[in-house]
Chain A
Amino acid sequence: MVKSTMPAENGQGPLTETVYYVLLALHAPLHGYGVMQLVDEMSGGRVKLGAGTLYGALTTLVERGWIVPVAGAVGDRKKEYVITEVGRDVVAVELERLEELRGNGQRIAKGEPR
């Protein structure tokens, strides 16, 4: 159920679409190109991450501790990343926010019964 009266649980603001989708994609280890492909697929081709934008996002997310690099397979120089516990919490908070947005949108813009 949508709890529209619930205040923000912490100081976390809305995530950018790039960050949100990168965090989702990294629920299993992936390298950069894998993230681009998965996000493209998940969004039905709507979100095409630029490699430059993705590189910046990965760097920031590692600094934040929301994702970590994992040791790749032997001989594979492509760095893989995976989401951390902190990252999962961030996604959980964001998901609640998105549900609130969606719920209110359905109710008001689409005129669904309260």
Chain B
Amino acid sequence: MKVTTVRKFYWNFEKEERWLNEMAAKGQALRHYSFVTYRFEPSRPAEWIYRIELLPDDSGKPASQEYLAFMADTGAQAVATYMRWVYFRKPSVDGPFEVFSDLDSRIAHYKRVLLMFTSLFAGLLPITIVNITNITRGEMTPVILALALPAVALLLGVEALLGTQALRVTGKIRELEVRKRLFE
């Protein structure tokens, strides 16, 4: 089988999921994922439907393993796990495939994703601030400054992207919570 490798990085797991389903529609079925590396194998066009989920625990933990076994019993195959992320797929002949079918569980999942983004954001905040204050003090030699500036730019960039995702997911949660006032 001819394996196609694609290097790509997504901040938005829903865009990522859409892309995987577009690839599947073209007959490229995800078989493996590790950091920024997707491996696809040829399949019949639209043979599979892909769904991405963030687990409460690391995918290797017993609780996660039990969950993945349950999912497998329902026909949802975990083609790849990466840290807490799982890439499920199910044959499209089985009909529509969603991991979550009610507002409560969809909200709970988004909250899990939100917490991940906010924790990462908060985790990077102190070093970002320390670096900025050091630079603004103006006591750095030109060489140190030349190293510190790109580092800070990178940190700020990552923080901005994490913040954007946190806001996006917060918006999704709000939307579903408004809907929940009327529906399940």
Report if A16-B71 is in contact (Cβ < 8 Å); known contacts: A48-B95, A48-B96, A52-B53.
no
B interface size (C-beta, 8 A): 21
In this assembly, does B104 line the interface, its C-beta being within 8 Å of a C-beta of chain A? yes
Q: Assign chain A's interface to a size class.
A: 20 to 34
The interface-forming segment of A2-10, A29-37, A86-94, A100-108 is A29-37
Whether B184 contacts A51 by the Cβ 8 Å rule is no
**Nearest B-chain residue to A47, judged by Cβ:** B101
Given A18-B101, A50-B101, A52-B99; 12 other pairs, CB 8 A cutoff: A18-B184, A31-B73, A33-B75, A47-B101, A50-B102, A51-B71, A51-B99, A52-B100, A53-B100, A55-B67, A55-B70, A56-B105
Whether B96 contacts A33 by the Cβ 8 Å rule is no
Which residues of chain B are within 8 angstroms of A18 by Cβ–Cβ distance? 101-102, 184
Whether A33 contacts B73 by the Cβ 8 Å rule is yes
Which residues of chain A are within 8 angstroms of B69 by Cβ–Cβ distance? 77
Whether B101 contacts A16 by the Cβ 8 Å rule is no
Whether B74 contacts A33 by the Cβ 8 Å rule is yes
Which residues of chain A are within 8 angstroms of B71 by Cβ–Cβ distance? 51-52, 55
Which residues of chain B are within 8 angstroms of A16 by Cβ–Cβ distance? 102, 104, 184
